[in-house]
Amino acid sequence: MTVHRFHETIAGRAYHIEVTPVRNRWRAQLCRLPGVPTAMMPFYGETPDDAARLLMQWLTLAHRREAMPAAATSSS
């Protein structure tokens, strides 16, 4: 099986991404450590780079939202 690996730093945290073929597309997901489950859904793309880019964009947005002050995220 072909596996593409990407190592990225997002918001100061290191992420290891694996991209593997699934039928006619590519699936990107965070590398799992032995014995450590991951609840994160995979991201799919037409190429390994596309799939990894989608996952990296989501992680970047998640970190931005986490960094926002509480007042900016409330709907009052």
The domain spans of the chain are 4-68
Displacement of CA 59 from its chain's centroid (Å)? 5
Query: Mind listing the pLDDT tens digit for each residue in 25-71?
Result: 999 999 877 766 666 788 999 999 999 999 999 999 998 887 776 55
Q: Are 53 and 45 in contact (CB under 8 A)?
A: yes
> What's the rounded Cα separation, in Å, for the pair 20 and 52?
10
Q: Which amino acid belongs to residue 74?
A: S
- Which positions ≥6 away from 2 have C-beta within 8 Å? 20, 21
pTM above 0.85, yes or no: no
Q: In Å, what is the CA distance from 75 to each residue of 60, 69, 71?
A: 22, 13, 8
